Amino acid sequence: MATAISPVMLALASCGAAPAGDKPPANRPNADFSVTTIAQFEEPWAMAFLPGTPLALITERKGRLKLWQEGGEVREVDGVPQVAYQGQGGLGDVALAPDFATSGTIYLTWAEAGDGDTRGAALGRARLVLDGAPKLEGLQVIWRQEPKVTGAGHYSHRIAFSPDGKYLFLSSGERQKFTPAQALDTNLGKILRLTLAGKPAPGNPFSGDTKAGPITAQIWTYGHRNVLGLKFDAAGQLWDLEHGPKGGDELNLVAPGHNYGWPLVSDGDHYDGRPIPRNATRPDLAQPAISWNPVIAPGDFIFYRGSQFPAWRGQAVIAAMQPASIVRVAIDGDKAREVARYQMAHRIRDIVERDDGSIWLLEDGKEAGAGHLLRLAPVRK
């Protein structure tokens, strides 16, 4: 059952203890919006609303895809691939194909086990069938991280479609292996531009290299660490939101062929305290629009386009996990600046704008009492 929280209650709740179980999240001392708790999920990672319906798809990291219905039940979608649930791995992003209205095609990403103790991200597509029990039909893996490696972190695997609907952009993390981000013979530590069938898109920056193989031909940009946000703005420009090490989270304007510096430079340092040269020491490399030190540990983000929050229009609105918050960032050309930050009760993993301009959040589900689906409503002043 949905529970509304008034702005006054929000301020009072900041003095109380952290919520537990299915109680509404508290500790939101802000006056710009109220929060409604809609439902709870187990380790939710991503969501996608089905346009013109009261339905949304929500991934749970252990390997479940849920079909949520506004005012109705939550059902499990059958036919989801087996995932490597370990560390940061599991079921990841979900996105509707540009022609979803006619094809019913959706895209999923997940961590996939390989030989021995190796894993890697995978991208697949399938037809969503809603007649009767919801299910996926004809699931096909169309892309994989190469090579699969040990460890269970930095998969990234966020999906974004070009505004014309012709191409699929995909973030591929460097899997905590550092140097592959600078190597053009692997797709680790990259942003990739693919056809809707998962093949290298024509005209990619390195596709004309006579030594380029099929992996090199996928690459749009390189030198990335762990990109968990990938979005186009209203002008059709692609941006990424990226985790730094100990400090150095960054928002980047993504330009084809550019090197974004990891692990050569960062505005943070290694976790053991060893320094890393700062971005500014290498002006030949792409510079972040904004970086954070201390970190915000970003999840996903949106460029807000609706009318419910007019002061937010055109800004990047970021789901942040440490400290748990929503961060608003104004864009000025290829630079950005933080303009507001709103404290939240739990880590925020995903943020989505619905067609009506409402904003929805998924709490990261590892904390006790977290994992809620939340809806924001503006406070009229």
Other CB atoms within 10 Å distance of the CB of residue 283: 8
Q: What does each C-alpha distance from 331 to 235, 289, 308, 313, 354 come to in angstroms?
A: 12, 8, 20, 11, 22
**Neighbouring C-beta atoms of residue 299, cutoff 10 Å:** 25
Q: Which two tokens stand for residue 355?
A: 């067609």
Tokens of 81: 């691939």
Catalytic (active-site) positions: 154
Please give the DSSP secondary-structure letter assigned to residue 17: P
Residue 373 forms beta bridges with which residues? 39, 362
Sign of the Cα pseudo-torsion (239, 245, 248, 249, in order): positive
Identify which of 157, 185, 184, 186 has the alpha carbon closest to the alpha carbon of residue 170: 157
First to last CA, the chain: 28
DSSP tag of 289: S
Q: In this structure, what are the phi and psi dihedrals at residue 321, rounded to the nearest 5 degrees?
A: -110, -20
Q: Contact 143/110 with Cβ under 8 angstroms?
A: no
